[in-house]
Amino acid sequence: MDIIYLLDLIGTFVFAISGIRLAARTDMDVFGGAVIGFVTAIGGGTVRDLLLNSHPITWMADMTYPMVILAAVPFTFLMGKKLNNFSKTLFIFDTIGIAMFTIIGMEKALSFGLNPFMAGTMGMISAVVGGVIRDVLCREVPLIFRKEIYATACLLGAVVFYLGLQINLPDNLNYLLTTGVIITIRTVSVKKSLSLPKMKA
């Protein structure tokens, strides 16, 4: 098992937890929480694969992903509010998750012959669309539209990743650099309460 695959699974697990926790706050039952966790974790990759006309869909071809998501349901249910004590850890793994989704999505799009701009967009879609679906199903304004520098961090990470490809950086170094950039941007934006300018009516 390579490190990228392992981190992708960890990101999937943490994304599922974020969906389940939001479902719990909106008073859904266990089945509702499982559904929200599932779409949060695989929504972005599914939309990406559909746009790329890539079949089978990644999580349908590898049952490890559904199993990881299903494992997140009892884990979140049993841990409950104790997860609040690990908010910083979950934040880091969530950010690693969006970095992995960005990289994997971009690599896949480039392998399908898309130009760098569209490949970066596919990377961003992989990382953030699951969260958008989660928020919509839970009747919330999607986080990326109102708070934090989230999707922008993915796009900037995609730029760094592509530049690394152009100068032939070793793969592992490029992955590490891209992940570091996304983590840094997100961490600084949260600590400093930075966000993009608000729209005015």
The string of pLDDT tens digits covering residues 35-65 is 999 999 999 999 999 999 999 999 999 999 9
Confidence category of residue 13, pLDDT binned at 50, 70, 90: very high
Res 11 pLDDT > 80: yes
The torsion defined by the Cα of 35, 75, 87 and 63, in degrees rounded to 10, comes to -60
Question: Quick one: average pLDDT of 148-155?
Answer: 85
Strands (E), the chain: none
Its pTM stands at: 0.88
Q: What's the rounded Cα separation, in Å, for the pair 73 and 88?
A: 20
| Per-residue model confidence (pLDDT) at position 95 | 85
Q: Mean of the pLDDT values across residues 124-138?
A: 93
Cα–Cα distance measured from residue 195 to residue 197, given in angstroms and rounded to the nearest whole number? 6
Banded model confidence at residue 126, pLDDT cuts 50, 70, 90: very high
Per-residue pLDDT for 1 more than 60? no
